[in-house]
Amino acid sequence: MVQQLPNESGIRLLLAPNRSLSWRGNVRIWLVLCAVSLLISIGMLTAGAWVVLPFAGLEVLAVGAGFYYTARQCQRQEVLTFSDNNLRLEKGVNHIEASWDLPRHYTRLKMTEPRHVWTPRRLFLVCRDLEIPLAPFLNLDDIKALTRILEREGLRIQHQPVTSVF
């Protein structure tokens, strides 16, 4: 998701992954899976296969951990702020975990072409020897929207073909 935020001194962009469900929705789905697993486990327990119950519990815990990890990763955000001479990138989940101040005139956007048609391009902010990955969670449409905005703001875009590993 690419969203423009109000800013007095320039443009400010919020970059975040698309979230199909809220935290509450994820918990509800997990609870439904727990209930189904419990019903099946109780049926197996009454049939004499008691060993299924602990494994069903481990399965529910593993699925819950997967839901938690995915929901947590979907809370990542990046804020890109343009001012007259500066470009600021801030990354984090619930607070700013890393930030960079880059001179706007020496910064460019490097785009690596995808290996496959369905995979999105990878974006990097490059300033001299520093190369910072930019929003690796964006989908194809969001990357197109972001590059249009960055071009409109005067950021130079460098296309880099994929180098083969073989």
Q: What local confidence, expressed as pLDDT, does residue 82 receive?
A: 92
Residue 91 near residue 99 (C-beta atoms within 8 A)? yes
Cα–Cα distance, 149 to 59 (Å, whole number): 44
Domain ranges of the chain: 2-19+75-160, 26-70
Alpha carbon 38 to its chain's center: 33
Cα-based distances in Å from 127 to 57, 107, 153: 50, 5, 16
Q: What local confidence, expressed as pLDDT, does residue 19 receive?
A: 86
Q: What local confidence, expressed as pLDDT, does residue 132 receive?
A: 96
Q: What local confidence, expressed as pLDDT, does residue 114 receive?
A: 81
Q: What local confidence, expressed as pLDDT, does residue 164 receive?
A: 54
Q: What local confidence, expressed as pLDDT, does residue 146 receive?
A: 94
How is domain 2-19+75-160 classified at the CATH fold level?
A: PH-domain like (2.30.29)
Neighbouring C-beta atoms of residue 17, cutoff 10 Å:
18
Residues in the chain predicted with pLDDT less than 50, given as ranges, are none
Residue type, 10: G
